[in-house]
A and B are shown apart, each in its own frame.
Chain A
Amino acid sequence: MIRLNRVCKSYGKTEILKDITLQVEDCSIYGLIGYNGAGKTTLLNIVSGLYRPTGGEVLLDVGEDLRDPFDDPFVKRSLFYVTDNPYYFPGANLVTMRDFYKGFYPNWSDNSFSELVKLFGLDPGKRIGDFSKGMKRQAAMIMGLASRPRYLLLDESFDGLDPNVRTVVSNLLAEYIAETESTVVAASHNLYELENICDTVGMLNGKQLLYSKPIEDVKERVKKYRVAVNTEKDPLTGLSVKFPRREGNIYTFQSEEPEEKLRDAFGKAGELLLFEAYGMTLNEIFIYETKEEDNEIEGIFAK
């Protein structure tokens, strides 16, 4: 279990995180989403013990008790952090890095390492410096999974991976949780993969955590609607909706309002011809949560 209690972080006078309180349960995958610069990496750096928070506390359950991860060797051995820009020793290959990491992780599995290398089709004797960006990320993922940590932190780990590999990684993570009863925290703004594997989602918006909920709750909370109503009035008046559009009598919009309330409102406005509610993808929810209105891009390239 990872517990953050009123965690704050500032760089000088610049406040990056403010009052972040959340809890990541064991044997789960926690998706941390937020736009660029929202503080996802900083939060992972704090959870990993790399950074010390300016305020609040971070605690990780490592078997005996809850411990502050900052410079705690015991926590470090229970945690693997796949950073957004993985580092490998100059001239190192996969075997070199394996030899380095395996001594620090008591649960390291050579078998998992070999299987993963085979799965990703990487050459273990080739210099990692000569790998492509995506292959470097795969290498980092191999190290992270083969070390079999109790906590696996992933920062933008799906970036640079081709669609097939993304699917493989998603499946691997699910399998990993199931096999090892570990906890994964994945930060990303690329949400397609997280959507299928996350148990819980935390959304950073600005400096603060907008919410931290099971993904079902998040998806249930907000929906997109397509409604056709025969009326001269504006049926959206008084309703909390986002990104409304009207084409003739057909309205499309997204809203957190209860479905019944919306149906009633449209029914009162006129003759309700069509009322359809759709579940939203995590990506759409992310946009819904973080944007107030559609970007006006028309005319940008006009002469």
Chain B
Amino acid sequence: MRLKAFSQNNPLRHLILSTVKRYFWLPLVMLLLTGVGFLGFEILEIQDLSRLNSITAQLAFRFAASEVWELFPYGAFLVAVISALVMFGFLFQKKSAAVMLLTGVSRLQLFMVRYVFGLVSVLVPGLISFSALLALGGSNTDHGFPAGVDTAILLLTLGVTILFAYTVAVLAAVVCGRESDFFGVCATFLFGAKGLLLFFGGMCATFLRGFPYPMREIYNANNSFFNLFDEYYTLSADGIFGKVLSDYLVTSSPLAPKGYLEPCLLPVILMGVVSLFLAALGCVLLRVRRAEFDGKPGGNPVLTLVCTVILTLSASGLALPFFGTLEGFFWALGVALIVCVALWAVFAGSLRKLWKGLAVTGCTLAGMGLAALVLYADPLGYGTAVPAQEEIQWVRMTFKGDFTVNGDHSEQWYGDLLHSTIVDDQYLPLLESETDIRKALEVHKLLAEDGSHWVKEGKNYEDSAVYADFNVIYHMKDGREIKRCYTAVKLSTLFETLRLGDTEALRELEREFLMHNATEGTEFAISDNMLSFAEMLTLTTEEKKELVERILEDRGKKTYLQRYHPAQECLGVIWLNYYGSEYDDAYVKDPVFVYQEDLATLAWLEEKGLTAFFEKSYRIQSVEWFNRSSLISRDYMKIMPLDRYFAAPYQTGDHTIFGVPSTTVEEKEWESFLAGCRLESFTDKGERFALITLVNKDGETVYTVKYIAE
């Protein structure tokens, strides 16, 4: 029996068939756009990578194939907008709208047919292209194709990303009267998410740290305003896709045990539900749409105003981190002004109304400036208020910043056991003793009263651009909680002043942590003083516990400065390698630096015949700067596939294929440079890395590569 709705002479059936017949080219074009677009990007990548010494075409191709993955959300938005324009562009002309709205079906049916066809046209090619890229990536025999479930989740996320982007674009088409309005709204949506995020991050940073401010790190800011937008961004299609992609790449790491990660599908499902809700809203809006405004400019002045304000904020917010200086701030204002005035002109459809755009943008910028001024002046003393000691029950101090990211990157991880204990929520120290609380208050006062000291002071290399967001949480005796966040605090200054390692609470935690990790699941390794080699140790659990006892014995005798001063020469490093970090998704390598005075540790190593490694005592012969390819620098996500494909975290020579030689470091800077290498200057985000040539007393030459932010 045939359904009546799809009988031969049914208008709905006819609409479906005529839509498919008329727009059969759309999915093909989308396939071309996604396929060729990504392929084009890959070619550019390969070209860029091929400039590097010693990289083979095959390696470049493999890397480029993985590179393109992260571009997909943006590609999805682009094709979604095009598809929405094709399917609902009829609304932008009075005469075409009249024909389509008067076809013998309801507006609901018209919406559904066009919506579904447009979605399929963009979804299927997107998934095909992406699957092809996955297959390309998976063809790497070093690693193999990722697990099926992970891939399915990734594809599902991609599908939801496309669904969301397309639905928003359709909604924009239904709301807007003409093409220019539609593009304006789409641009605002796409541009606004990150722009608003950065803008509010910047405002909060200004509030807490002063102005001007090194904007590069505001993305890591952590405070109430920012958290709100952080959550918002996390739930955005771009955010979700980035997270799932990241999980996917990590999960498929050859080091990760099977089933180690539990995929978090909730945001993906939520985004899917939101998309369906938006689709329903679009359908309702089309049902009530007033055809008299089809193709007319300026149908919605409120929409224009909102878009202009959002774009003003976004343009300035987006521009700031790229420039990062006071001069850049004015550049940002200029960019915001131009973008938004142009937008208004497009919306209004008349150059004569430019003054309105100028007025709205000017007012928004003036409002921003005023808000920044008020926050900077801090008339209520919010940023400098420190509670009285007698009212405090306990204090918790945490900091997040570069090292949380670096923690995922094995060799580039700069930190120490102390840092990881603080970063990981499970080991956050509660400072409860009177001495510890007083110490915390002293640090907080220093930070609040002389914040600029923390940011500006620094030396070349060893105090390089490594910042963290420092959080202080007071739990008061009356049950209240006071939270303060200080963004972009320079870590070296913070550690030297804070000396959290000297607090009773942390010493105990450190002990617990080390003992906790002296188990079967932790692999111990040992390396020379330049971290150029690592050798896995075969130790029983008992031996691991013994070694940790010795380490703790030595550590207990020293202060923070003695143990962690970067300039102090160490003999070698013991590594504790295990799974688990703040995000539970990384293979962490905690270094324990061993110095001459660590007698207990050295005695134990000697007893086991393991000191030979330390006796190598490498010294620097030369340091050469390499420039990294612009396409793979500064980007965490790009490092992940790099590690995947080349699987060479210890094979330092392989890293040089990603750089071209630049300058030589002068010998007088080596000591400072060395200190930077050892402690907090390691980062994967610099555009440069150093190739260090080392030589030991036997004349043996080795090379090591360090990624160091300047």
- By a beta-carbon cutoff of 8 Å, the part of chain A in contact with chain B is 11, 42, 45, 48-52, 71-73, 76-77, 79, 81, 83, 85-87, 89, 99-100, 103-106
Q: Which of B9-17, B346-354, B384-392 contacts A (4 or more CB under 8 A)?
A: B9-17
The 8 A-B residue pairs with the shortest CB-CB distance in the complex, in nearest-first order: A103-B14, A104-B104, A87-B95, A77-B104, A76-B104, A87-B99, A87-B96, A50-B291
The 29 listed contacts between A and B (C-beta, < 8 Å) are A11-B292, A45-B292, A48-B102, A49-B102, A50-B102, A51-B292, A52-B290, A71-B107, A71-B287, A73-B109, A76-B103, A76-B105, A77-B104, A79-B102, A81-B102, A83-B95, A85-B94, A85-B95, A87-B95, A89-B22, A99-B18, A100-B18, A103-B11, A103-B13, A103-B14, A104-B103, A104-B104, A104-B105, A106-B9
| Bound: A99/B98 CA distance, A | 18
Q: A50 contacts B95, CB within 8 Å?
A: no
Q: Given the known A-B contacts A51-B291, A52-B290, are A81 and B104 also in contact in the complex, defined by CB atoms under 8 Å?
A: no
Chain A residues in 8 Å Cβ range of B95? 83, 85-87
Residue of A nearest to B105 (CB): A73
Chain B interface size range:
20 to 34
Q: A83 contacts B98, CB within 8 Å?
A: yes
Q: B15 contacts A103, CB within 8 Å?
A: yes
| Bound: A30/B343 CA distance, A | 46
| Bound: A49/B22 CA distance, A | 25
A178 CB, nearest partner CB in chain B, Å: 25
| Bound: A99/B291 CA distance, A | 25
Chain B residues in 8 Å Cβ range of A73? 11, 104-106, 109
| Bound: A99/B103 CA distance, A | 13
Tell me the chain B residues, 72-107 only, with Cβ under 8 Å from chain A.
93-96, 98-99, 101-107
Q: B106 contacts A71, CB within 8 Å?
A: yes
Residue of B nearest to A50 (CB): B291
Residue of A nearest to B108 (CB): A71
| Bound: A117/B437 CA distance, A | 94
0/1 per residue, B631-646, Cβ < 8 Å to A? 0000000000000000
Residue of A nearest to B14 (CB): A103
Given contacts A76-B104, A89-B22, 8 further A-B contacts (CB under 8 A): A71-B101, A71-B287, A85-B94, A85-B95, A87-B95, A99-B18, A103-B9, A104-B11
Q: B101 contacts A50, CB within 8 Å?
A: yes
Chain A residues in 8 Å Cβ range of B107? 71
Q: A81 contacts B98, CB within 8 Å?
A: yes
Chain A residues in 8 Å Cβ range of B292? 11, 42, 45, 51
| Bound: A10/B175 CA distance, A | 20
0/1 per residue, B288-306, Cβ < 8 Å to A? 0011100000000000000
Residue of A nearest to B11 (CB): A104
Tell me the chain B residues, 601-617 only, with Cβ under 8 Å from chain A.
none
- By a beta-carbon cutoff of 8 Å, the part of chain B in contact with chain A is 9, 11, 13-15, 17-18, 22, 93-96, 98-99, 101-107, 109, 287, 290-292
| Bound: A73/B103 CA distance, A | 8
A97 CB, nearest partner CB in chain B, Å: 10
| Bound: A147/B151 CA distance, A | 52
| Bound: A77/B105 CA distance, A | 8
A62 CB, nearest partner CB in chain B, Å: 12
Chain B residues in 8 Å Cβ range of A86? 95
Q: A51 contacts B290, CB within 8 Å?
A: yes
Q: How many inter-chain residue pairs (CB < 8 Å) link A and B?
A: 62
A77 interface neighbour in B11, B13, B291, Cβ under 8 Å: B11
Q: A87 contacts B291, CB within 8 Å?
A: no
A73 CB, nearest partner CB in chain B, Å: 5
| Bound: A5/B107 CA distance, A | 25
| Bound: A49/B105 CA distance, A | 12
Residue of A nearest to B95 (CB): A87
A148 CB, nearest partner CB in chain B, Å: 13
| Bound: A161/B283 CA distance, A | 40
Chain B residues in 8 Å Cβ range of A76? 102-105
| Bound: A243/B292 CA distance, A | 38
A173 CB, nearest partner CB in chain B, Å: 20
| Bound: A51/B99 CA distance, A | 13
Chain B residues in 8 Å Cβ range of A100? 18
Chain B residues in 8 Å Cβ range of A99? 18
Chain A residues in 8 Å Cβ range of B287? 71
| Bound: A295/B96 CA distance, A | 39
Chain A residues in 8 Å Cβ range of B103? 76, 104
Residue among B11, B13, B96, B287 with the most chain A CB within 10 A?
B11
| Bound: A143/B279 CA distance, A | 33
Residue of B nearest to A108 (CB): B9
Residue of B nearest to A89 (CB): B22
Q: B11 contacts A50, CB within 8 Å?
A: no
B7 CB, nearest partner CB in chain A, Å: 12
Residue of A nearest to B16 (CB): A103
Chain A residues in 8 Å Cβ range of B94? 85
A192 CB, nearest partner CB in chain B, Å: 26
Residue of A nearest to B292 (CB): A51
A248 CB, nearest partner CB in chain B, Å: 54
| Bound: A79/B102 CA distance, A | 9
Chain B residues in 8 Å Cβ range of A50? 98, 101-102, 291
A55 CB, nearest partner CB in chain B, Å: 15
Chain B residues in 8 Å Cβ range of A106? 9
Q: A87 contacts B105, CB within 8 Å?
A: no
Chain A residues in 8 Å Cβ range of B101? 50, 71
Q: Given the known A-B contacts A50-B101, A51-B290, A85-B95, are A104 and B14 also in contact in the complex, defined by CB atoms under 8 Å?
A: yes
| Bound: A142/B98 CA distance, A | 18
A162 CB, nearest partner CB in chain B, Å: 23
Q: B104 contacts A87, CB within 8 Å?
A: no
Chain B residues in 8 Å Cβ range of A11? 292
Chain B residues in 8 Å Cβ range of A105? 104
Chain A residues in 8 Å Cβ range of B102? 48-50, 76, 79, 81
| Bound: A200/B14 CA distance, A | 36
A103 CB, nearest partner CB in chain B, Å: 3
| Bound: A100/B94 CA distance, A | 19
B376 CB, nearest partner CB in chain A, Å: 44
Chain B residues in 8 Å Cβ range of A42? 292
B391 CB, nearest partner CB in chain A, Å: 60
A10 CB, nearest partner CB in chain B, Å: 10
Chain A residues in 8 Å Cβ range of B98? 45, 50, 81, 83, 87
Chain A residues in 8 Å Cβ range of B17? 103
Q: B291 contacts A45, CB within 8 Å?
A: yes
Residue of B nearest to A79 (CB): B102
Residue of B nearest to A76 (CB): B104
Chain A residues in 8 Å Cβ range of B105? 73, 76, 104
| Bound: A258/B563 CA distance, A | 118
Residue of A nearest to B9 (CB): A106
| Bound: A81/B98 CA distance, A | 9
Residue of B nearest to A85 (CB): B95
Chain B residues in 8 Å Cβ range of A103? 9, 11, 13-15, 17-18
Residue of B nearest to A147 (CB): B104
| Bound: A52/B99 CA distance, A | 16
| Bound: A83/B290 CA distance, A | 17
Residue of A nearest to B286 (CB): A71
Residue of A nearest to B288 (CB): A52
Chain B residues in 8 Å Cβ range of A45? 98, 291-292
A69 CB, nearest partner CB in chain B, Å: 9
A159 CB, nearest partner CB in chain B, Å: 15
Chain B residues in 8 Å Cβ range of A85? 94-95
| Bound: A77/B104 CA distance, A | 5
B411 CB, nearest partner CB in chain A, Å: 58
Residue among A11, A42, A71, A77 with the most chain B CB within 10 A?
A71
Residue of A nearest to B291 (CB): A50
| Bound: A52/B95 CA distance, A | 17
Residue of A nearest to B18 (CB): A100
| Bound: A86/B95 CA distance, A | 7
B87 CB, nearest partner CB in chain A, Å: 14
Residue among B17, B96, B103, B287 with the most chain A CB within 10 A?
B103
Chain A residues in 8 Å Cβ range of B15? 103-104
| Bound: A66/B22 CA distance, A | 35
| Bound: A48/B98 CA distance, A | 10
